[in-house]
Each structure stands twice: as C-alpha cells, then as structure tokens.
Structure 1
Amino acid sequence: MDSVARTEAGGYRDKLLAGAVACLQEKGYARTTARDLVAASGTNLASIGYHFGGKDALLNEAIAGFFDQWTAHVERSLFGAVLGSPREMLERAMIALVDVFEELRPQLILCVEGYPAALREPVLREKMAEAYARARQTGADMMRRAAAQLGVEPPMSPEILVSVLVAIADGLMLQWLLDPASTPDARQVVDALAALSQFIA
C-alpha cells in the first residue's frame, strides 16, 4: 500500500494525471480504459482507485485541471509585468487566451472533446462547471485587482465581463480548431470590441 500511496512530486498521482491527459488526447474520453491509463502512466490499477476513486474521476480531474492551468497562465500574463492602460490589460489577457491556441492545440482538443462527454456524464459536467466557476471568479478577482491598481472602476460587474471574455475565447477556440487562418488574433479581437462599443454607445 505504501507504494500506491506515494504523492510526492513525480509520484503516482502526478503520473496518473499525465497519463490521463495523454490518453484523452490520443483516444478521447469514451474510448480510454483503465488499462490504457495504467500503460500510459506506468502505474497500476490499484493506484487509480486509491488516488481518484476510479477511472472516470481521474479523467474528469485531468480535464478540469487544464481549465485551472489556463486560468493561472492568464493571471501570470496580466500581473507578471508592469500594468498598462485598461486597453493594454485587455490585450494582455486576450493574448493569453487567444494567441496561445497553436501552443495549446492538444489540450484544446482534449477540452472540446470533454463537452459532449459532459452532456452524458453528470459528474464530468459538474467538474467542468466548477472549473468554469473558478475561472470566472479568478478572472473577476483579477479585474478588480487591476482596476484598483490602475485607479479605475470596472464599467460593470466583473463577473459578467469575464463571462463574456471567456465566451469569446471559447468561440474563437472552436473557430481556430476548424480554420486557423480565418480566426482573428488577440489584438484584432480588442479592436473589434472597441469598435463595437463605439457603434452601440
């Protein structure tokens, strides 16, 4: 049992999550078996149950983990440098959300394939909904933090603004996976939002 319970860096839990990501990218959610996960992670069947309670819970955790990692990447991009104007901050956020599609292509496919599975798997749907909720809350906190440091007030509820930005990023992600050449980049997105705001003001 001691070997199964290892949780240090590089231990079974981390190996299982890495193996789950690899399997999801190669086989998808529905076709990944517990034996696939064992082979990809170099662990054993008992470790899946010990650390996650079962195969589906492991796959769910791997998918939700990607959302959390992407949110953390956006936060590092926003606050890892000197703050600029509100427009510059928005551009920085959209660059972290949109101009990384090529780099994240395998993970994006994993994410998109998680949606239809979530429609049929209540636990996965709840897990992904929780990941979105965390992303919205973290994004709203980032917006409030940036606004305070810049000495400005958000134009409306940060939660709503972040939800719209996430929806834009998700939609562009789907477009990019199908037709990268026709998908606008981050600065084009910000220009479009600025133009739209002037048009409807």
Structure 2
Amino acid sequence: METLLDEALIIATDRWIGPLLEMTTLGVGASVRERLVSGLTAFLASLPENRNTAVGFFEALARAERSDVLRDRLAEGYQSLRASLADVASGDSAYREAAVDAASAVIALYDGVMVQWLLDPHRSVNVEKMVDGLGEALVPRSTRRAEADKQ
C-alpha cells in the first residue's frame, strides 16, 4: 500500500514541479537574481494549492530511510532536478559542474522556503529580501562596488 502511495506522491510532485521548472527557462536573458526571485515567487505562490503534496513529500522523506526503492526514486528526482536547473543556467559545458553545484544550492532554497511556509504560511519568506540578503552575504556590496570601479 505504501508503495502505491509513494508512487502517487512522486507523480504528483513531478506534475507540480515540472511547470515550475519550465518557468526558469523563461526570460533566459534575465539575470540570475531575476530568475531566482521569479522562480521562488512562483513556487511560494503554488504552495497553497499543493500543500497536501508538500506534506506528503516530507512524509515520504521520513519513510525513505526504511525504503531503498523510495530513497532511490527521490534521489533520482533530485538528480534530475539538479541537471535540469544546470541546463538552464549553463549553456557552456565548461561551467557544467559549477552549474550543478549551484543548482543544489537553489534546490536547498526551494526546500527551505517550503519548510518555512508549511510551518507558518502567514509569515512566509520575503523572496526578494532573502535573495538580496544571500547575495550580500556571498558578495558584499563593498566588493561589488570595488569591482564596478575597476571597470
């Protein structure tokens, strides 16, 4: 019985995430920040109608510890998602490995936004502030300003 439920969950998750993933290809000329904010905003907006799938996903994560089949399917899903995001981010094969690593970080952001929303949907993440704060933490304004001054 759990196997059927797990399969249904995987199908439901694919149906939910697939269109969101396709959105990341829209506006390829847009900056990384713009695409990240757009994707996370769309994801956050999709959570109310997909709450049961999101909850089921986290329930499946707990069951994956005891099910090699489920764990493998979920891991394959993450690998496929990383590859798809890396394809969007990297048109140049020289940057493929870095793009896959960056995709892992982006997926972690999505999962984190989902957890926070599930716990308290009334105080959901401000996506723009989160992305800007992350950018500031990774590349402080003073460093960006100094780089701009060199040009």
1:48: which partner in 2? none
- State the 4+ residue runs in structure 1 displaced beyond 6 angstroms: none
Counterparts of 1:105 and 1:126, CA distance in 2: 23
Q: Which has the higher helix share?
A: 2
User: In structure 1, the residue corresponding to 2:24 is in which secondary structure?
Assistant: helix
Amino acid at match of 1:187: E
Query: Residue 117 of structure 1: CA displacement?
Result: 1.1
Query: Residue 82 of structure 1: CA displacement?
Result: 6.6
Which of 55, 58, 77 does residue 23 from structure 2 map onto? Answer: 77
Counterparts of 1:192 and 1:66, CA distance in 2: 32
Counterparts of 1:95 and 1:169, CA distance in 2: 10
1:29: which partner in 2? none
1:99, 1:185 within 8 Å by CA — same for their partners in 2? no
Counterparts of 1:130 and 1:176, CA distance in 2: 25
TM-score under structure 2 normalisation? 0.77
Structure 2, unmatched stretches of 5+, are 144-151
The structure with the larger Rg is: 1
Identity within the alignment, %: 29
Aligned length: 140
Which of 121, 126, 129 does residue 67 from structure 2 map onto? Answer: 121
TM-score under structure 1 normalisation? 0.60
Show the 5 A alignment for 1:126-145: 126-145=72-91
Compare relative contact order (CA 8 Å, sep 6+) and give the higher one, 1 or 2: 2
CA offset digits 1:175-197 (Å, max 9, x no partner): 21111233313222212222212
* 2:10 is equivalent to residue 64 of structure 1: yes
1:83, 1:89 within 8 Å by CA — same for their partners in 2? no
Amino acid at match of 1:198: V
Structure 1, unmatched stretches of 5+, are 1-54
